[in-house]
Structure 1
Amino acid sequence: MCAMTFKIIGDPKPELLIDPGHGGKDPGASGNGIIEKLLTLAISLYQYNRFKELGVRVALTRDSDVTLDSNARALLVKNSGAKYCISNHINAAASASAAGVETIHSIHNNGKLATALMQAIADAGQLKRSRPVFSKPNTSGGDYYYMHRLTGNASTVIVEYGFCSNPADAARLLANWQAYAESVVKAYCLFVGHKYTPPAGMTQPPVTPPTTQPAQPLAPAAPVSDQVNIHVNGKLLDQKGTLKNGVTTVPVRAVAEALGAKVTWDAATRTVNIDK
């Protein structure tokens, strides 16, 4: 039986590779309405589309819920030729009090990009860990994390957006993950000197303090090939719809709010209410 061969998705010669952590048989961390592999995919697909809009040569290690073991993932990064890699993750801890963003860089890296990404997410409203930027060696003096140790010349930053094991942090993540994702896009562009413009109709990423814990886990994001653009009254929305088997599905909240309606969710009856 032949081993499955994986290829990066997007620009064949990227300057930036985005890695949605975990996937497929490896769900990563979970709790409080979050499954890591799904939220990292949603964040990564959002960033991928934004970077493309901005003219950055970008690619993904995966664009759907597929299994990538550590060797296959690291090899994709190493062989991509990308100068930078952002590996997206959601944290978890035994203590429910652990919260906030942290970024991890190679022991052979000065950590400046890691610091810029961390600060951008914090500026978008997320808490900081007590040690929000760090590197970690193994017992042999090399990098502890394989995404640093096995990815060749790519400068990889592991981004942990927050803790799904903390109810308040999980609520912040589910309410504001697009704002955090956009802040990373902006910080990367500023770091490498690439022109940045905010999404249409947005001067800065929105930050909405959560008031209640989300009732549902985040749904899987669609592969790039299944995504469709949505225009409401001539305005392009940041969110994408999906086209599958001839049926187009659109995000209710994004479309309704673009039309000036209010959307609420009734968890007891599993009902979406749209009021104009």
Structure 2
Amino acid sequence: MTTPILIIDPGHGGTDPGAMGNGLREKDLTLQISTYQSARFHALGIPVVLTRTTDTSLTPSQRTKLVRDSGATYCISNHINSGGGEGVEAIYSIFAKDTLPKLLAQAVADCGQKIRKIYTKVGPGGKDYFFMHRDTGKVETIILEYGFIDHPVDAKKLRDNWKTYAEAVVKAFCGYIGVPYIPPAKPVEKVSIELNGSLLPVQGYLRDGVSWLPIRAVAEAVGATVEWNATTRQVKVNGQDLTESIENGTAYAPARELAAILALDVEWEQATKTVKMKKRSA
């Protein structure tokens, strides 16, 4: 396995729920945020691991050992605050610079959250106060508190915007380590296809207001000839070229363009997200 650049620590877990308030539990939110970030970093080609992937208990020594032994350069320890405050906080080691914590906190703030403070804290004997800084070795660890679970405004922000905050941290971290950032793909909205009053056993999808339909399935349902040129990766229907998009090995075309070639009338039913096509009236 490639040595990770980053280890993400979902704070608390198992028998330790962390902070609770307004119907939320810290351990659930931190795991939700962390697993999302892990998936996004993997998609961007950034080696990353997690201290926990399920609702399991970790002692402080177990948690810090996982960080130390990971081989990672950085650790983001995700947390949700409590105690009556409001806003995002970033806490870093007394032996580290504030560059990365400031960047991460500002990224969350740019999504509409307030910045409460970015700080470090000295413990007894001139050591780090927090064990996640004191006992994680050479790994640069940032404790990121996304908001206050017991503050009603923050709780609503956390419930509604956790994914936005998580993605902002992903983008900021990519910029910090110099890896190109690519936004997540927009969710594909499926559309049903009705042909001459009957639903086809396939679906199309909606992108930027345009319905795209599987070319071969629709064309062959009306007896049209479909040709595929493997060299040019171009589909022809009844000898005619059309705009196409290849998705997971299937060629799709805009519904109206495909309908025109097949001599079909087409309409869009918004309520059911259905493309309705029928033989063109004489």
Class of the TM-score when normalised by the shorter of the 2 chains? 0.5 to 0.7
- Residues 207-255 of structure 1, C-alpha deviation per residue, up to 9 Å, x if partnerless? xxxxxxxxxxxxxxxxxxxxxxxx98388xxxxxxxxxxxxxxxxxxxx
Residue in structure 1 matched with residue 114 of structure 2 by the alignment = 127
Residue in structure 2 matched with residue 36 of structure 1 by the alignment = 26
Residue in structure 2 matched with residue 269 of structure 1 by the alignment = none
Residue in structure 2 matched with residue 73 of structure 1 by the alignment = 63
- Residues 31-73 of structure 1, C-alpha deviation per residue, up to 9 Å, x if partnerless? 0021000000000000000000000010000000000010000
Alignment partner of 1:233 is 2:205: yes
CA distance in 1, matches of 2:40, 2:206: 19
Q: Computing the radius of gyration over CA atoms, which structure comes out larger, 1 or 2?
A: 2
Kindly indicate whether structure 1 or structure 2 has the higher relative contact order, using CA contacts under 8 Å at least 6 residues apart.
Answer: 1
Alignment partner of 1:52 is 2:39: no
RMSD between superposed Cα atoms in Å: 2.0
Look up the equivalent residue of 1:192 and give its one-letter code: I
4+ runs of 1 displaced by more than 6 Å? none
Residue in structure 2 matched with residue 117 of structure 1 by the alignment = 104
Change (3 A) 1:198 1:140: same
Look up the equivalent residue of 2:72 and give its one-letter code: A
CA distance in 2, matches of 1:100, 1:88: 14
Residue in structure 2 matched with residue 211 of structure 1 by the alignment = none
Matches within 5 A, 1:111-260: 111-129=98-116, 132-201=117-186, 233=205
Give secondary structure in 1 for the equivalent of 2:150. coil
Give secondary structure in 1 for the equivalent of 2:124. coil
Structure 1: tracts of 5 or more residues without a match: 1-10, 203-230, 236-259, 262-276
Residue in structure 2 matched with residue 85 of structure 1 by the alignment = 75
CA distance in 2, matches of 1:150, 1:12: 24
Aligned residues: 195
CA distance in 1, matches of 2:112, 2:36: 18
Give secondary structure in 2 for the equivalent of 1:18. strand
Q: Normalising by structure 1, what TM-score?
A: 0.68
CA distance in 2, matches of 1:165, 1:232: 44
Which is strand-richer, 1 or 2? 2
Structure 2: tracts of 5 or more residues without a match: 188-202, 208-269, 272-282
Q: Normalising by structure 2, what TM-score?
A: 0.66
* Percent identity (aligned): 51
